[in-house]
Amino acid sequence: MTSNDAFETLCERLGFPGSARLRAILQALMTPEQARIAAALPGSVVDVAARAGVDEDDAARELDDLFYKGVVFPRGDFARRSEYRLARHVIQLHDASLATQQLMVPTHRPFFKKWHDFCLEEMYPAMIGAYEALDAPPTRVVPAHKAIKDLPGVLPEEDFHELLKAQQLIAVVPCSCRFRTSSVEEPCTRHKETLLWVCLQFGRGAEYVLERGSGRRLTLGQALELADTIEEHGLIHMWGNSGAMTGVHTSCQCCDDCCMNAVSARRAGADVGIMWQKSRYEAFVADPDRCDGCEDCVERCPFGAVDMTTDETTGLLTSSVSAEKCFGCGVCVVGCPSGALQMRAVRSPEFIPREFPTPKVAH
């Protein structure tokens, strides 16, 4: 197998045959020999060496390097790496190769730029088609803890603090989307990822992060404090679309201007609801008289659900919430200085599925 054939094989296996943009990314990530080895996956080091026609020691060394680069993934124990597979899909390759402290913004701008071009022109359109084919969104919005903590009937699976308490191992890495947009000088308007990482990893996802050295471990106390900061910055907690408290390896803290889901939907004119399920909650103006017309809620809402209306009698601005557009994230409530905005449950507990949907594309 020639090196060019190997790169094309990898493009095909990642779902983008003939993509010059993806090929450029792969060529930046690996040497031609590494491409031949990666194309020989899955399998043990012995099997891959035989298929690629290389020495076993060389195969082990190159696979190890590709593991740290986020291209290949060990099966079983991350520390004792003897069997590998290629990234399951291009989104996993995107996140693993970019969500790491080994890259610097803007030092690695050329690499980030390759990914950015590929995302905008090829990956995002493909994501929309894949998500539209799903029976249910694979991800759900978890409301901000501060917005619902005093309400009756809050379920453990929709209380982000309780979700964190259920995890045995927590780590954090830089958000791949915000690192990428920051590097290409299109930084997030809500949060500076270069100053504070917010992409949370749990269980096996955290084990992967710690073995690679791509992020760092968090205590429960540190994770809870970070979650509160995330809400203050107007980011949205995400979880798998089920009531399971564990089994989710990554919890993105999303925004509307960098997140691959939000941006791909906006560029395609699609409803982000094909990717994200609403929470059981909805923001509403509990006390219009307390609203001082500051418009902070309008700026903070990532779904365009909050607007300002003029009172015909007083001529004062008052906020209003579109129930149809509201996803129940609660970031407007957290950021409301007057306390006029509150949350209320508008859907039954059965709204949260008991089992995860089977996604064809996963974040």
- pLDDT, averaged in runs of 10, over the chain (363 residues): 82 98 98 98 97 96 98 95 96 98 93 98 97 94 98 98 98 98 95 97 98 97 98 98 96 96 97 97 94 95 94 83 98 96 97 74 40
3-state secondary structure of 216: strand
34 Cβ neighbours under 8 A, 6+ residues apart: 62, 65, 66, 71
Characterise 269 by phi-psi region: left (phi > 0), alpha (psi -120 to 50), beta (else): left
Q: Could you give the count of Cα atoms lying within 13 Å of 322 in the half-sphere of its Cβ?
A: 11
Q: Check whether residue 221 and residue 334 sit in a common domain.
A: no
Q: Do both 148 and 266 map to the same domain? A: yes
Domain that holds residue 65: 1-72
Q: How many CB atoms lie within 10 A of CB 337?
A: 10
From the list 156, 95, 127, the residue with the least C-alpha distance to 272 is 127
Q: Which of 299, 182, 159, 176 is nearest to 237 (CA)?
A: 159
The answer to whether residues 205 and 332 belong to one domain is no
In a domain, 340, yes or no: yes
302 and 274 in a common domain: no
Cα dist. 86→35, 36, 67, 269, 357 in Å? 11, 12, 10, 32, 23
Which residues on neighbouring strands pair with residue 282, listed in sequence order? 344
Q: What is the structure's pLDDT at 1?
A: 56
pLDDT at res. 196 = 98
Is 103 domain-assigned?
A: no
Same domain, 60 and 172: no
| Same domain as 334, residue 263 | no
Predicted local distance difference test score (pLDDT) of residue 354:
85
Cα 136 → chain centroid: 18
Domains contained in the chain, number: 3
Backbone angles phi, psi at 147, to 5 degrees: -85, -20
Task: Please tell me whether residues 261 and 300 are part of one structural domain.
Answer: no
User: Using CA atoms in the order 114, 120, 123, 127, what is the torsion angle rounded to 10 degrees?
Assistant: 160
Residue 81 lies inside a defined structural domain of this protein: no
Same domain assignment for residues 145 and 234:
yes
Q: Which residues pair with 276 in a beta bridge?
A: 139
